[in-house]
Structure 1
C-alpha cells in the first residue's frame, strides 16, 4: 500500500510535469528550438561578452547577426551557383539523344518515375507556399525566443531547467552537457569530412577539366554533408549523362571518383569517430550499420549518441 502511494506521488510530482513539458515542446517547437539554440550558441555570446567586454544586448545581437549572415551568405552562394548551372545544364541536356533513348523500354519507366517526382515536388511547393505566413510567424517567434534565450543564458545557461522537477534537474543537466560534447565532436568530424571531400573532388574535377572545379566541388561537398544526401546525388547522374553521350571513359572516371571519395570518406569517418569516442573503428562501422538498419536513414543522425552509449557500455563491462 505504501509502495502504491509512493508510485502515485512520483507520477503526480515527477512524470506528469515532465510529460506536460515534452508535449508543450513538441507543439511549440519554434520556441523549443530557440531554447536549444540559445544553449548551444551560448559560448559565442559568452566570448563576445567576457573577452571583448561588449554589453549583453550587443553581444546577443552580434551572435544572431553572425549566424543569420552566415546562413544568408550560404543561401546566396547556393542560389547564385544554381543560376550559373541552369545554362550549363541546358547546354548539356540538349546533347542527349532523346529520340534514340525513347526506343529503349527502360526509358518509359524512367519517364514515369521522373514525372511522379516532379508532381510530388510541385505539390509540396504549393503546400509550402500556402503555409508561408505561418512560417514567417514561426520564424519571428524563433528569432525573439533566441534573443531572450541567449540573453538569459549569460546569467544562467541552464535557466530553462527551473520548470523541471528537482529530481530530474541533475540528470537533465548531465544529459545536456553530454549532448553538447557530442554535438561539438559531431561538428568537428563533419567539418573535417567536408574539407576532405572538397579537396578530393576539386582534384578530380580539375583532372577531368571541368569548368570552375572549386565552385562545383564545394557544391557537391555541401550536398554530401547534408544528412540523407551524398555525392552520389550529383556524381551518379553526371556519370550516366556521359555514358548516354557515348563518352564512356569520362563516365567511368566519374564513377570511380565517386567510389573513391565514398570509400575514403567512410574510412576517415570511422577513424575520426574512433579517435573522438575512444572506440575501435570496426565498432564504429558496425554501430553505424546497425543504426541505419534499425532506424532507417535517420539513424545517421543518431550515430554519435550511439557511439557515446557504446563507449559508456564498454566502460561498464570493463569495470564489472
Structure 2
C-alpha cells in the first residue's frame, strides 16, 4: 500500500514538473514563438473558408487561400476607410467648433482662478507674513523640497519618455517584418495544412492523436466563441452609445459611436478615454444637462457590459456564467485590472483542456 502511494506521489511530481517546465519554456520563449502561434491560429480560422471555396467554386487551394486572405484584407480596409471617412467628417465639424470650446474653457479657467484661487492665494500670503522668521524658513524649506521633488520626477519622466522613442521607432521595422512573416507563413501553412495533419497523425500514438485532435477542436471552438462574444459586446456598446447620443441630440453621433467602439478594444480603458474627459469638459463649461446625460449614458454602457459579459461569454464558450464571474473576480484579486483580460483567456483554455479530457488523462496517469 505504501509502495502504491509512493508511486502515485512520484507520478504526481512528474506531472507537476512537466507542467512547470512547459510554463517556463512558454514564458521565456513567447517573444520568439508568438508569430508561429498567430500563424497557427490564423491558419485554423481561415481554413473552413478555404475549404468552402475549394468545394463550392472548385478553386485550386492556392487560389482559394489567396481569395480568402485578400477578401479579409479588403474587408478590414473597407471598415477602416468607412471609419476614417466618418471620422473625417466629424473632425471637420470639430475643427470649426474646437476653437470656440477652447476659448470657453479658458474663460472658465480664468473665472475659476479669479474667484477661487486668487483669494485663497492672498489669504495664504497674508497668513505666511504673520508668522515669525523661523516658521517662514521652515515652510520655505518644505516648499523647496516639494518643488525639487516635482522637478526631478518630471525630468526623469521626460528623459525616460524621450529615451523610449528610439526603442519604439526601432520596433516598427521589426513589426513589419513580423507581419510579413505571419502572412506568408499563414499562406504556406494553410496550403499544406492537410499534409501537416497527416504527418502529425503518423508521428503521434493513436491515443495521443485523439486527445490532441479533441484539444485543438475545443480550443478552436473556444477561441472563436470568445472573439465572437467580444465583438458582440462591442457592437452592443456602440448601439447603446449611438442611441443615447441621438436621444441627447449630440451632433455627429455616429462618428463618436464608431470611435467609442474602436477604443472599446483597448484593455482596461475602453470608452472611458472618450467619456471621462468629455464629462469633465461639459461640467467645466456649465452645460449641466448634457453633463448628466453623458454621465448616465456612460454608466449604462459600463454597467450593461459588466452584466452582459459573463452571460455572453458563457453562452459562446459553453461555461456557466457563475464560473466566468468567479474567474474574473479571482483574476482581479491576483493581477488587478489586468485580470479582467487574463482570466477569461485562462477560463477558455481551461475549459477546452477539460472538454478534451486532458485533466482526466492526467488523473488516470497519477492514479496508475
TM-score for the superposition, normalised by structure 1: 0.75
Q: Which moved more, 1:140-149 or 1:228-237?
A: 228-237
- Partner of 1:295 in structure 2? 335
User: Does the 8 A contact of 2:50 with 2:65 survive in 1?
Assistant: yes
Output one character per residue of 1:258-306: Cα deviation in whole Å (capped at 9) or x when no partner. Answer: 1111112222222223434555434432222222322333432441541
Asked if residue 68 in structure 1 is aligned to residue 73 in structure 2, the reply is yes
Q: Which moved more, 1:29-38 or 1:231-240?
A: 29-38
- Partner of 1:39 in structure 2? 44
For CA contacts below 8 A with separation 6 or more, give which structure has more relative contact order.
Answer: 2
User: Does the 8 A contact of 1:39 with 1:158 survive in 2?
Assistant: no
1:52 to 57, 70, 75: 57
User: Does the 8 A contact of 1:44 with 1:63 survive in 2?
Assistant: yes
Distance 1:20 1:262 in 2: 37
RMSD over aligned CA atoms reads: 4.2
Give unmatched runs, 5+ long, in structure 1: 106-110
Q: How far 1:24 sits from its partner (Å)? A: 6.3
Q: Which moved more, 1:272-281 or 1:229-238?
A: 272-281
Query: What does 1:124-135 align with in structure 2 at a 5 Å threshold?
Result: 124=164, 126-135=166-175
User: Does the 8 A contact of 1:288 with 1:303 survive in 2?
Assistant: yes
- Partner of 1:108 in structure 2? none
Distance 2:74 2:335 in 1: 34
Asked if residue 93 in structure 1 is aligned to residue 98 in structure 2, the reply is no
Output one character per residue of 1:161-192: Cα deviation in whole Å (capped at 9) or x when no partner. Answer: 57986586544433222211111211222232
**Structure exhibiting the larger radius of gyration computed from Cα positions:** 2
1:29 to 28, 34, 39: 34
Distance 2:71 2:241 in 1: 29
- Partner of 2:180 in structure 1? 140
The count of aligned residue pairs is 300
Q: How far 1:220 sits from its partner (Å)? A: 0.6
Asked if residue 220 in structure 1 is aligned to residue 260 in structure 2, the reply is yes
Q: Secondary structure at the match of 1:182?
A: helix
1:306 to 328, 341, 347: 347
Distance 1:61 1:27 in 2: 27
Distance 2:155 2:300 in 1: 32
Distance 2:211 2:198 in 1: 15
